[in-house]
Amino acid sequence: MTTSETLDLSTSPEHIERLKENMEKVDSLSRKLVEIMSTKKQHHPGLDAPNHELFARAATSYWAEMLQNPAKMMEQQVEFWGKSVLNFAEAQKILAAQEGKEALETSPSDRRFTNPMWEKNPYFNYIKQQYLTNSEIIRMAVEEVADLEPLDRQRLSYFSDQIIHMMAPTNFLPTNPDALEKALETEGQSLIDGLQNLVADLEANNGELVVRLADESAFEIGRNIATTPGEVVYRNRMMELIQYRPTTETVHETPIVLFPPWINKFYILDLKAQNSLIKWVTEQGYTLFVVSWINPNGDYADVGMEEYIEEGFLTAFEKAKEICGVKQVNAIGYCIAGTTLSLTLALMKKRGDKSVKSATLFTALTDFSDQGDFTPFLQNDFVDAIEAEIGEDGILPSYIMARTFSYLRSNDLVYGPAIRSYMMGQTPPAFDLLYWNGDGANLPGKMAVQYLRGLCQGNAFADGGFEVFGETLHLRDVDIPVMAVTCETDHIARWSDCYRGVQQMGGRSKTFIVSQSGHIAGIVNPPSRDKYGHYTNADLKLDAPDWMAGATFNEGSWWPRWESWLKKRSGKQVPAREPGDSGYPALEQAPGSYVRARARS
């Protein structure tokens, strides 16, 4: 339906009457919304913005600069006035143009402004152009604030960008033509549906606004995601150990033990058969164990990195060895589990434990000297607020970490989904990756603080040593063969930062790969898709830019290259192993019970 047809329809008496009726329903839902928000549990305000001292320093510096160099400030203001007047003139030009005449494209390509009305309608065109102008001036002002330390400038830039994104005209109904057209076309039903979506999301999260990214009714763990056959063969308070069923007559003697991050669930590696790394590994002839972590509650307040290492990593190694009757395993650690696997390997070196033959690290940071996009959140004011939020409950709620990750890509993961769900009344898509993204886990308070203070802020593992079980662990203690797989556009664990950590490891056999794409798609990249390639370079003495400059680009997935590397460290062929044995009978079918526990704020 065209805009003119929509407007014609909206003028009919019947349409107006139905629209009024639906607006009364909107009012009723609004009252429900207020009731929910009034009972919302408040989180620590320090989690929402940096300490006011940052903005005060910036304002003071800006004021001092204006006094010292008023001509420069006036030049900026005159430029702002000039652009504003030109925006208004362009709106008048469009208004005066003949109906149907094409308007010129006057702004950079931006997915938020794809509706033709942003160009052809003088009202929306002016709003858009003025928003873009305001955004440019704010960024320029931040860039030119003098006397700020680089860290403060980076934080100020990040949070000013967040304000810019939040104030986009697309985020407000009166200035969003897509939402207005939808409301007219549906006689207001889209607004009712949107408010119902909003109320449902708030009720599901105790009043905390967590935008639902996927249609949760479309997925069921164990039915259409996480379906690779296997059995839970061991369980303790920290994890379930899943052994997957073989798909070949023989397997390599040395089993694999895979540790996913405990911030999210393991089934990112088993979403569906077509892109399941777990399924693919079994098809290559390996015995695969995967750890499924507990989703902790208040009973886990005093659980730290030590418990994850002892009752998670070391226990999983021992159980896999006993079940398979071997002396060594190969290990995989993804993200924070790769960081902790590296700590575990350093501890095992101190103890003379040679149970792990090789380690594969997926997007794992071990040197935090440059904190990348997370720098704004890893300063004392935010970490202090996290400690305060943990408080008496002893748990860091999952939504806090999820929100932090989401705001690194706020237009894609916050505002865009909110507009579609709450303004347009659309049901979130049935997208398995987004379903997984919303299925987070709580973090034990002690572990979260150890990780943030000791590793992220103190960079103790790479600088000075990280204390665990009375041992001081260093990156150089990791001396077994390592392959590190990183991702080119990863904004969570930048490949160059991962590279710096691998360089400091003490082993002579180190392989480094950079996959195309990001933190998830670069890892979940099956050969059958033939979508993303990867970079290799054997010279790990180079700094990161030179390593990439001299790297070879390889078409296709890195999975086969990794499997060729792993095969050399996996021993002879033995008869395929069924899950468990007489000492460890199957407790239940994969994916087990722990993975099904949902975290709510």
Active site residues: 335
Contact 230, 244 (CB under 8 A): yes
109 alpha carbon, distance to own chain's centre:
25
Three-state secondary structure string covering 426-489: CCCCCCHHHHHHCCCCCEEHHHHHHHHHHHHHCCCCCCCCEEECCEEECHHHCCCCEEEEEECC
- DSSP state, 221? B
Q: How far is CA 394 from CA 43, 181, 201, 320, 496, in A?
A: 14, 47, 25, 32, 34
Q: Which helix (H) or strand (E) holds 138?
A: helix 122-143
HSE-CB at 490 with a 13 A cutoff on CA atoms is 26
Which positions ≥6 away from 87 have C-beta within 8 Å?
Answer: 126, 129, 130, 133
HSE-CB at 534 with a 13 A cutoff on CA atoms is 28
Name the residue among 258, 264, 270, 257 with its Cα closest to residue 227. Answer: 270
Q: Which helix (H) or strand (E) holds 369?
A: none
Side chain identity at residue 157, one-letter code: S
Name the residue among 79, 178, 170 with its Cα closest to residue 127. Answer: 170
Three-state secondary structure string covering 532-562: CCEEECCCCCCCHHHHHHCCEEECCCCHHHH
Q: Burial letters for 155-184: b for 16+ Cβ neighbours within 10 Å, e otherwise?
A: bbbbbbbeebbeebbbbeeebbbbbbbbbb
- DSSP state, 19? H
Q: Which helix (H) or strand (E) holds 393?
A: none
Residue that is written with structure tokens 């400038």 in the block: 153
Task: Name beta bridge partners: 541.
Answer: none
Name the residue among 495, 461, 490, 494 with its Cα closest to residue 478. Answer: 461
- DSSP state, 526? -
Q: What are phi and psi of 250, to 5 degrees?
A: -125, 160
Name the residue among 21, 430, 33, 28 with its Cα closest to residue 189. Answer: 21
The rounded distance, in Å, linking the Cα atoms of 489 and 515 is: 9
Dihedral sign for Cα atoms in the order 519, 520, 524, 525: negative
